[in-house]
A and B are shown apart, each in its own frame.
Chain A
Amino acid sequence: MTTSTPVKEASPPAAPGPAPLRRPRRRRAAVALLFVLPALLLLGALVVYPVLFSVGRSLFDASGTRFVGGDNYTEMFRDPATLKAIRNTAIWVVVAPTLLTGLGLILAVLVEKVRWATAFKLLLFMPMAVSFLAAGIIFRLAYDHDPDKGVLNAAVTGVHDAFAGTSSYPGARARDGRDGALVEEADGSYRTGAGVSPGDTVALGLVGVGPDDLPSGAKAAYGAAGRDAADDEVRGVVYLDFTPGGGGEQGRVDRSESGLPEMTVEAVRDGRTVASTTTGDDGSFRFAGLADGSYTVRLPASNFAPPYEGVSWLGPALVTPAIIGAYLWIWTGFAMVLIGAGLSSLPRDALEAARMDGANEWQIFRRITVPLLAPVLTVVFITLVINVMKVFDLVYIIAPGPVQEDATVLATQMWLVSFGGGNNQGLGSALGVLLLLLVVPAMVFNVRRFKRSQR
């Protein structure tokens, strides 16, 4: 199949064939124009004219009546909202294409090594067919702050609680207004009001734990509360000072009252924690081997801390990385498939020769694969940069109302300024022109690449 300059070969002087069959040149040009006219009209009216119009409009003020020259362009870098959009777009353009190209390269190399490569590629490529809107809804849901809704925070809190342990009794407190055993400290911990000496037994009553919140293994504290302490130890129970079904006496361990298991208890002397333990199923604890003296028994604040609430993915700080994450889900397959296509066209001999020479996989990857793939990686990277600059839907959908201004990028800002209440079409046009200027290098790249392919 001939690929050589069809543009030139088709031109009339070179066209062979008997003269009578050739139609007059002007007639043929007229036919050709009929073929291109619909496309040229549409492109002219809806693409080329708007570009020129926007450039002109960007030089006028919000209402379009007063010529302001470059004011809209300087305003862009002064107005905090548009400046934020420019900064965020810069973050997007640096981070997303780099991560995508890297991830695509790694996956493209690895997937070659398994037999189910095709299935894997299809799975990763599929999000390309999903709209940004649907992806936006999916990730809004995934990033939901409530661990009972958002799968990411469910995972994060799950992992956190597995390692850091849960604080068991977020609502527990001592009874108010009693000169009882426990005093609340400023940091939220509780300590015994009076000094405790070795040989003493203490009963630390708390309330504010619902019957459903009691651990399932909790046992009655009555037995443990009656046990005597040896001379060198302090014993005690932490119990729920509440008798189910009523009755019972406040401040006393009644028969049916439950112990509070898994509570951290500390023995403190002169402000220093000298021993620490956790309560058993019946709420009992015991500090053995204590020297004589006066101690306080303390229930540290960690027992009562509110539960860990996970990461605020869509808060102001993380919203942009979070949306980039959703973008990765959509585009990684694209990068992988394109790089994979480049990979399969690499000369096998070079790789085999290197293997024979004893190079390991990493050396081959680093010294041979990547350099040979450089042109493909460039094309992928540039394609991604162009697309990332124009990202709109994902940011518009995922960022919740209050953090929209933290997540805003050029395309969303242009929308907000022009149509979404800003109603400053001068500044909006300038932002549109800025978007266009940013893709001009890609434009030049495309035109050059095309011209080269025609030579």
Chain B
Amino acid sequence: MNAVRRYLGNGIVQAFLVLVGLVWMTPLAGLFLSSLRSAEDTAKGGWWTALASPGQLSLDNYSALLGNSGITRAFWNTVLISVPTTVLVVVVGALAGYAFAWLDFPGREPVFLVVVALLVVPVQIGLLPVAKLFGQLGLFGTIPGVVLFHVAYGLPFAVFLLRNYFAEMPKEMLEAARMDGGDEWRIFTRLVLPVGKPAIASLAIFQFLWVWNDMLVALLFADSSSQPLTVELQSQIRQFGSNIDVLAPGAFLSLVVPVVVFFAFQRHFVQGVMAGSVK
């Protein structure tokens, strides 16, 4: 009797979760199907009509997108912003993380507490002052400007995560390396970085996705020649989906990279996000 009830209960649970899963898939499926339909078909009916008549689907929108120089340039700008940002955050963050974990310098502990406090500072507060600063330095409207801003606001989390990870290394390991006469740079590159690989991977993936997906920072700091895909697409949004044949494939193009990265490195990504909770 109990077994029957449990079996039935499990069936209900399964059905419920399948339903939730379908609901979660629908928005992406809708975007994908919309991206494959012509403007005329879109004007006639919703994307779901394509399920009944798959003849509507074609790659025409995508070939048009590749011929759209605004979109392709924005795509490369996104790459040129996210890759250097990720590298810089990892390098600068690892250097500082190591110093905070194992090197001695005056004020180390209070300064690290400030870094912890900076974890939750909203980027909004930096927009206006940094825009003025970059204006004076000639960085406003350039890719390096966007990168620097992202690096600065990615650093608290990077330093926090890596310092905590490095601090878990066995002390004896470092002592031994120091005793062998290795200088700190050698220890950092030959010992600390290899040991820290898992944390660095999580950080890099998390940071990459964060910057790839950013719109707000680039909306302010990038000009029309340096703007990434998110800003380019945002500028093309018009009243109620009148140009869905551009927006949908564009949005799909912008999300295909992060989703592939997500599936390829899902464990690292999940760990990065979990470590970053309360960020």
Contact = CB atoms under 8 A, between A and B. Distances in A.
Interface of A: 1-3, 6-7, 9-12, 15-18, 21, 25, 28-29, 31-33, 35-36, 38-40, 42-43, 45-51, 53-54, 57, 107, 110-111, 113-114, 120, 122-135, 137-142, 144-151, 154, 329, 332, 334, 337-338, 341, 361, 379-380, 382-383, 386, 389-390, 392-393, 396-397, 400-401, 411, 414-415, 418-419, 425, 428-429, 431-433, 435-436, 439, 442-443, 445-447, 449-451
B153 interface: yes
Interface of B: 9-10, 13-14, 16-17, 20-21, 24-28, 30-31, 34, 42, 44-48, 92-93, 95-96, 98-106, 108-109, 111, 113-130, 133, 148-149, 151-153, 155-156, 159, 167-171, 175, 178-179, 181, 183-184, 188, 209, 212-216, 220, 230, 233-234, 237, 239-241, 244, 247-248, 251-252, 254-255, 258-259, 261-263, 266, 269-270, 273-274, 277-279
A139 B31 CA distance: 9
A17 B175 CA distance: 8
Contact of A150 (B13, B46, B149, B255): B46
A157 to B, nearest CB: 11
Contacts of B48: 151, 154
B270 A38 contact: no
A32 B14 contact: no
B161 to A, nearest CB: 12
A138 B170 CA distance: 48
A374 to B, nearest CB: 15
A392 B118 contact: no
Nearest to A16: B175
A129 B259 contact: yes
A interface secondary structure, majority: helix
Contacts of B128: 50, 53-54, 57, 418, 425, 428-429, 432
Given A43-B156, A131-B213, A134-B251, A144 B241 contact: yes
B248 A435 contact: no
Contacts, number: 320
A16 B179 CA distance: 10
A111 B96 contact: no
A340 to B, nearest CB: 10
Contacts of A54: 125, 128-129
B254 A49 contact: no
Contacts of B16: 110
A137 B251 contact: yes
Nearest to B236: A137
Nearest to A420: B219
B270 to A, nearest CB: 6
Given A151-B30, A419-B127, 18 more contacts: A2-B168, A7-B108, A32-B104, A33-B105, A39-B96, A42-B148, A42-B152, A47-B121, A47-B152, A110-B17, A113-B13, A129-B213, A386-B120, A415-B124, A428-B128, A435-B124, A436-B122, A439-B120
B167 A382 contact: no
A114 B14 contact: yes
Given A131-B212, A144-B241, A450-B113, A11 B159 contact: no
**Which 4 A-B pairs have CB atoms at the shortest separation, nearest pair first?**
A131-B213, A46-B152, A32-B103, A39-B96
Looking at A3, A10, A131, the one whose CB has the most chain B CB atoms below 10 A away is: A131
A57 B131 CA distance: 14
Given A130-B258, A386-B120, A138 B125 contact: no
